[in-house]
Structure 1
Amino acid sequence: MKLRNFDQVDIKEVNGEYTLILRMKEDEQPSYDTEFGSEFFYTTKKNGKTLITATEQFIKKEFPKIKKATIILAVGTVILASFPFQKAEAHEVTFNMSYLYFGNTKSYISQIDKTQGNLSLVSPSYFDINADGSLKITTQYDSTFVKEMHSRGMKVVPPAKTTTTTSVTAAKSTATAKAVTSAKQTKYPTLKSGSKGAAVTDMQNKLKKTKLYTGKVNGVYDTATKKAVIAFQKKYKLKADGIAGTATLSKLDSVIAATKTTTVAVKKYPTLKQGSQGTAVKDMQNKLIKTKIYKGKALGKYDTATKKAVIAFQKKYKLTADGIAGPVTLAKLDSVTKSK
C-alpha cells in the first residue's frame, strides 16, 4: 500500500492513548479487498490481501516508531474498519471500539454479543453536541444498555466526531510519528502463584472491587488469589491459566475504570400526567411558559390547561402526543429551554 492511497492521516490523543484515522481516497480502487467484513479479517479472494493486513504493513513502514495504537479506516464519512495495532506479538485480538448508529438496545446487545467479548469500547448514538460545544444526551439514551456494558467491563463513550481531532497531512507523517512515541504506555508485570509484593496487593484490591475475590489483601499470590484470577479470566474470555499477565491486568484496569467513572451525568426524569402535583410540575410549567406554548400560571398542578400545553409541545417536536410528560418529553423540554 502506498501513501498516495490516503487523503490524510488524522491523529487524536485521549488520556495518553493514540488513535490513527487513515482517510482513503474515494475515487481510487485499491488492489485489495475493501469489504466491510474486513474488520473481522474477512476476504473473498483466495490470494487477496485484506485491507487490515495492507494497512498494518503501511503503518510499519510509514510510522516505524509507533508501538501501539487504535487504527480507524475511513472513506468519506464511512468507517470501514476499527482495529488495534501493536508491534509486539499480538496473541489476542481485541477490537477497541464499535460505533452503534442504528437500532435499539436489544439490537445493540445482539451485535455486541457477536464479537464474543472482543470489544472494550462502544459508542451508541446517545450523544450530540450543543451549540456551545458541550456534550448532550439524545432522547435515545437508555441507562439499561449503559449498565449492561459496564457489567461486561466495557466503556460507553461519545463517537469520535465529538472529540477534538488533530489533523495532519500525510506528508507530515514522519514528524507526527515522533510525537506519538512520547505517549506513555503502562507496563504490567507477570504475577502467578508464589508472587509477593505491592503489585499483588494492587491486583487483589481490584479483584475485590469486581467481587470475584473475597480473601485478604495481603500481597501474597496464594490459592484463593489464583482462583479469583481464573474466575476473572473466564468471565472476560481470557486464557484461564491463573497467571495474571499483561492481558489480564490491563483488562482488570479497564473493568475497574468503567465501574469507577460514569461517562456522562444522567438526569433522572419523573413521569408527570394530569392530576400530578408538586415542584416537578411547577418546574415543567415554568419551562413551558418559556416556550410560549403554556399561557397559564406555574401553580404546580397538572390540570387540563397544562395537559393541552404538553400535547402542543409534543406535536411541535414530533414526540408521542399523549399529554403525559415522561423522560423523553421532559428531556426535550430541557434542551429547548436551555437554548432560549
Structure 2
Amino acid sequence: MTFFSKIIGTGSYLPSRRVSNQDLTDQLAAKGIETSDEWIVSRSGISFRHYAEEGVNSSDLAVAAAKQALDAAKMQPNDIDMIILATSTPDFIGGFPSTACIVQNKLGIKNGAAAMDVQAVCSGFMYAMSIADSMIKSGSHKNALVIGAEVFSRILNFEDRTTCVLFGDGAGAVVMSRSEVPGVLATKLHADGSYADILCVPGQVQNDAIAGSGYLHMDGQAVFKLAVSVLEKVANEALEAAGLKAADIDWLIPHQANIRIMQSTAKKMRLPMDKLVVTVDQHGNTSAASIPLALDAAVRDGRVQPGHKILLEGVGGGFTWGAAIVQM
C-alpha cells in the first residue's frame, strides 16, 4: 500500500514582548553603539521582533504553537505518534534531554510517541519536515507533530549591531498525517560543513563553564552570498523532483532571514513578488521557527488555500539548506 503525508493543521506562537527597531536603537545608543531604524530596515527588511520573557523556554513556545496546530487539525495530543522539533536553542545544554521530549510531557502525550530534536539551525524545519514525511510514507508512523521553536534572544550579543538586530523568538508547528492523496510532493536536503565558521556559536561547555563564546557569530556577507546561490538551486531540484515548474507554484515561503535574499530568490525563479510570503518585517529571523510561522500566517489570513502548491525553503548554519514542495 502506498502512503503519502499531508499537512492538515498549522499553528504558531510569538512572545508578547514586541521589540521595535527604535527600542533596539535606544538600547544600543546607551552603550555607545550607533544604529537606526533606517539602517536596520535597509539591510534586512526587519522592523519588529519578539523576545521571550525570562524563564520562558523554547518548549513553552513550541507547546503553544503545537496546540494551535492540533486544534486546526481537529486532533487531540494523544493522536500524535511522533514529535520532531527543530531548534538551535534547546531547553537544556546540549539538548539533553531533547526539547521534543519536554514538549511531549507538557502536552500530556502518554502513548509512547517517538520524540526527537533536529539541529540544522535555520534549515531545521525543512529537515524535520522531510524526516516526518519519510517516516509517514514508510508506514511506521501516522500523525507527526513537526515544530520549529527558538529563543535566539538568549544567544545574541547586544553589543554587536550586525547580529543582535536581526533575530527574534517564536515557534511554528504543523501536523503531518497519513493521506490517500499526495501532500508533500518532494523534499531536498543538503549541507556543506566547510562553511561551518561563517554562522555559528563558537563556544564549548567545559567543566560547568563556556569555553569560547556563547554568542552567535555571523559573517553576513559570506552568508548572504552563499544563501542566494544555494536557495535557487535547491528550489529547482525540489521542483524537478515533484515534476513541476516554478510557474506552477502558488506561494513561495522561504526562511525569513533577510528581505533581499528572499526577493533575490523569487526574482531568479521568475516568481512575482505577490507570490512571496513575507513576515520577516514583523518577526525578524526566528531561525527554525520562521518557515512554519510564515506558513501559519498565510493559512490564517486566507492566502494559502486547500489545493495550493507551496515552495518552502531554508538555509542556515552548518552550512545547511533544503526545500520542499507541498500541496495543501
Q: Which TM bucket (shorter chain)?
A: under 0.3
Structure having the higher Rg? 1
- The structure, 1 or 2, with the larger RCO (C-alpha pairs under 8 Å, 6+ apart) is 2
TM-score by length of 1: 0.26
Compare the two structures and name the one with the higher strand fraction: 2
